[in-house]
Amino acid sequence: MDTTQNEQLRARAQRVVPNGMYGHQATSLLPSVTPQFFSRAKGAYLWDYDGNRFIDLMSAYGPNLFGYCHDEIDAAYIEQLKIIDGATGPSAQFVELAESFVETVTHADWAMFCKNGTDATTMALMTCRAFRGKRKILIADGAYHGAAPWCTPIPVGVVDEDRAHFIYYQYNNVASLEAAVAEAGDDFAGIFATPHKHEVVYDQEAPDPAYAKAARALCDKHDGLLVVDDVRAGFRVDRDCSWHGLGVEPDLSSWGKAIANGHPISCMLGSNRAKEAAGSIFVTGSYWFAAAAMAASLKTLEIIRGSDYLERTAAMGDRLRHGLAKVAHEASLPISQTGPSQMPLIMFNKNEGGRDLALTFAFAEGMVKNGVHFHPFHNMFVNAAMTDGDIDDILTAARATAKSLPNLATYEVNPIAQMAFAGA
Amino acid sequence: MDTTQNEQLRARAQRVVPNGMYGHQATSLLPSVTPQFFSRAKGAYLWDYDGNRFIDLMSAYGPNLFGYCHDEIDAAYIEQLKIIDGATGPSAQFVELAESFVETVTHADWAMFCKNGTDATTMALMTCRAFRGKRKILIADGAYHGAAPWCTPIPVGVVDEDRAHFIYYQYNNVASLEAAVAEAGDDFAGIFATPHKHEVVYDQEAPDPAYAKAARALCDKHDGLLVVDDVRAGFRVDRDCSWHGLGVEPDLSSWGKAIANGHPISCMLGSNRAKEAAGSIFVTGSYWFAAAAMAASLKTLEIIRGSDYLERTAAMGDRLRHGLAKVAHEASLPISQTGPSQMPLIMFNKNEGGRDLALTFAFAEGMVKNGVHFHPFHNMFVNAAMTDGDIDDILTAARATAKSLPNLATYEVNPIAQMAFAGA
């Protein structure tokens, strides 16, 4: 696999960007063959600057729900851009999109738009505290809610006080949640929960309905707000808030990524119970009211409501899961597949127990070399531009990868990753 | 002036958005005739849904530097969007834009891109603290650096700890700055400064060169980082960082708004001294690495470097300032015009001293009714799509407004604004 152009771009980037790249898309923890830069995207595919094509199982880390460069959604963006985008005030699309979210998401009586997923979770944090003037926020231990000082998973450049009044509980553990509420006492403001447990490296876990219902009941009993952080999973597992299927409606939810198929917009949705509190906080951004991303989101919601994308991505995820299980069984590789099948986290364990990092990374490296953008420790995302044929191609790549694995005893896992995941 | 459609949109928005609108573009503090929603934008003009056209002196609160729906810049965005925008990694535009900023801004050796101005200031905050592991950050009292919990000007939904380890000094006051550094002692991390004093309601103030130089010297002496927050003023007063003309180069600067003529991108720039610290923090966002806004910013920087926009906007600002002074003099209105003339804050004082809120608001209302989007307490922005003819039209509107002012003794200033600015 030729990586010449990619290496040249990396070298140029090193000169003018700290570490050459930063954030969740930095490839510093990935097998070194993984491209850092991409030249073209269409549907389910990405091309790097060396002419290699990849079926992209990462889907831009979530935003790509219906395929890259989607004709209809991008046309909505471009048409709006020609009339008015960001201006001195919003356009009617602002109202229409809020109405569309209220129509789509059961718990939502209103919407507030922003740009980053972190904006939406930070607004939810502030709304919880504004609700009754209480301070204590319950967060599942290790959960990712963004990269601001209060939540960045690598707390460098932050002070201890940035996380004052947070109480950490164990996801899916009702007793732990109850203990955290008790600890909060009279200062209880609210509970944050991701719709399922989807932290990097660790196996994903479905939400225990008893836990979700306990979270709702505790917020009702102690007059706090329940927040479902749906930035990553929103519209991937339901056409509504991800806890709707459990019969649990939050007071607030945060959204981003897939809601405009990659165009830059995120939002906080809320119930009337939380409306006054949400209206009392001051949050804003220069580009938050721009119309083009709203037009794209309106079109995306229309397709979400009117197409069978959800059933198709779930079915393709199942096809992938079953196919990979077969490949792994044939090759006697102890595969670990967790999470909703359309948001798969795929790693490998040791026969004697524990994660097999060498096999996990070697497999991901082989997949990349065989034309599949495959992540060794982050959940991936099946998108609706994929076809059964693409899934079959991924399985063919997996079979080829399994047959030509390197000697794992001498395989060198990316040393930064090895250090980072030593405890996992 | 017909406002029927605008009122209907406001009513719809009230149902599905807290207060119907939020953030800096909410018109709740403005004369009630001010449109909340706009249907079309082109060059220097905005149209509302009732068919009223406005010369827009607000320029989207800053992003509009070269005119709305700019042919070349938007074409760069759209062409890139058709090839690749947000994906699983950045495109070459990421590297090219970092190189372009390094070429354009003297103090910059590297760049990190993000979406909101607040992202860029928050990254600077974290970088200061990561630099030597120190915590104390010096911020000018009342300065606006964004709307996150650590800096939102209306601290609802935040806790006291969000502002731990901040020390507030008086802008342009060297003694106050020195006292703050002394107070920080061994825990000094850095100094934040806006390029000039540009808070709402208060007269703008040019930076005293002695103050800027003291800030630089104190950061050198006490091993901290100097941050110029250029989000609002960047490229409005210089083709370089706004303090370049003073001979003062910061370690870090934050940018947004005008850098892509309104397309959603912001950035932190820094010197090699701060590069390792910047590389040690974990910050990210789903849309931060998207290529289309970078392509638009590359084109914007090209126009910034290659056109006379800066001299033209300054000259038009002067024409506006002198013309308004004449109109005010003829009508015996004690006008207050502060700030760079291309970023004018225009208010009125009482003859006996103190701000005349009634006249300030009545004048702004009259300007809106006469077709000029005019802000009573926020600095405005002359953009390069304006012509001398537009400035003359604004002066004609000002003359008409001055001639038909309402009875100020009975004029009702927006009561929310009156309350908000009672202390100013």
Q: Which residues of A touch B282 (CB under 8 A)?
A: 22-23, 147, 152-154, 156
Q: Which residues of B touch A281 (CB under 8 A)?
A: 152, 154, 156-157
| Four-CA torsion B114, B119, B125, B126, nearest 10 degrees | -60
Q: Which pLDDT value is given to residue B424? A: 55
What amino acid occupies position B369? Answer: K
Is residue A187 packed enough to be buried (19+ CB in 10 Å), middle (13-18) or exposed (0-12)? middle
Cα–Cα nearest to A242, from A207, A271, A214: A207
Q: Which residues of A touch B58 (CB under 8 A)?
A: 88
A47 touches A40 (CB < 8 A): yes
A69 torsion bin: left (phi>0), alpha (psi -120 to 50), beta (else): left
What amino acid occupies position A164? Answer: A
A51 torsion bin: left (phi>0), alpha (psi -120 to 50), beta (else): left
Q: Which pLDDT value is given to residue A111? A: 99
Q: Which residues of B touch A262 (CB under 8 A)?
A: 85-86, 287, 290
Q: Which pLDDT value is given to residue A195? A: 98
Q: Which two tokens stand for residue B255?
A: 């940018």
Closest-CA distance of chain A to residue B224, Å: 13
Which residue in B13, B153, B285 is closest to A118 by CB distance? Answer: B285
- Residue B274, CA atoms < 13 Å, CB-side half-sphere: 35
Q: Which residue of A has its CA nearest to B55?
A: A88
Q: Which residues of A touch B112 (CB under 8 A)?
A: 17-18, 22
Q: Which pLDDT value is given to residue A201? A: 87
Q: How far apart are CA A334 and CA A351, in angstroms?
A: 7
B16: contact with A, CB 8 A cutoff: yes
Q: How far apart are CA A159 and CA B161, in angstroms?
A: 10
Q: Which pLDDT value is given to residue A390? A: 98
Closest-CA distance of chain A to residue B160, Å: 9
Q: How far apart are CA B10 and CA B6, in angstroms?
A: 6
Taking residue B286's Cβ as centre, other Cβ atoms within 10 Å add up to 28
Mutate to test the interface with B, among A12, A17, A36, A235 (most CBs of B within 10 A): A17
Q: Which two tokens stand for residue A35?
A: 């491209």
B156: contact with A, CB 8 A cutoff: yes
Task: Render A109-169 in DSSP notation, one character per residue.
Answer: SEEEEESSHHHHHHHHHHHHHHHHS--EEEEETT----SSTTT-SS--S--GGGGTTEEEE
- For chain A, the straight-line distance linking the first and the last C-alpha, in angstroms and rounded, comes to 31
Residues of chain B with pLDDT under 70: 423-424
Is residue A354 packed enough to be buried (19+ CB in 10 Å), middle (13-18) or exposed (0-12)? exposed
- Residue A240, CA atoms < 13 Å, CB-side half-sphere: 13
Q: Which pLDDT value is given to residue A415? A: 84
Interface touch B25/A90, C-beta < 8 Å = yes
B148: contact with A, CB 8 A cutoff: yes
Q: Which pLDDT value is given to residue A424? A: 55
Chain A residues 300-359 with CB within 8 Å of chain B: none
Q: Which residues of A touch B90 (CB under 8 A)?
A: 21, 25, 36-38
Q: How far apart are CA A255 and CA A367, in angstroms?
A: 31
What b-and-e string marks burial along B369-389, b requiring 16 or more CB atoms within 10 Å of the CB? Answer: bbbbbbbbbbbbbbbbbbeee
Q: Which pLDDT value is given to residue A423? A: 59
Which residue in A18, A37, A159 is closest to B278 by CB distance? Answer: A18
Which residue in A40, A125, A161 is closest to B84 by CB distance? Answer: A40
Sequential pLDDT tens for chain A (424 residues): 999 999 999 999 999 999 999 999 999 999 999 999 999 999 999 999 999 999 999 999 999 999 999 999 999 999 999 999 999 999 999 999 999 999 999 999 999 999 999 999 999 999 999 999 999 999 999 999 999 999 999 999 999 999 999 999 999 999 999 999 999 999 999 999 999 999 988 999 999 999 999 999 999 999 999 999 999 999 999 999 999 999 999 999 999 999 999 999 999 999 999 999 999 999 999 999 999 999 999 999 999 999 999 999 999 999 999 999 999 999 999 999 999 999 999 999 999 989 999 999 999 999 999 999 999 999 999 999 999 999 999 999 999 999 999 999 999 998 888 877 775 5
Q: How far apart are CA A214 and CA A238, in angstroms?
A: 21
Q: How far apart are CA B49 and CA A223, in angstroms?
A: 41
B282: contact with A, CB 8 A cutoff: yes
Closest-CA distance of chain A to residue B27, Å: 9
Cα–Cα nearest to A191, from A267, A254, A140, A247: A140
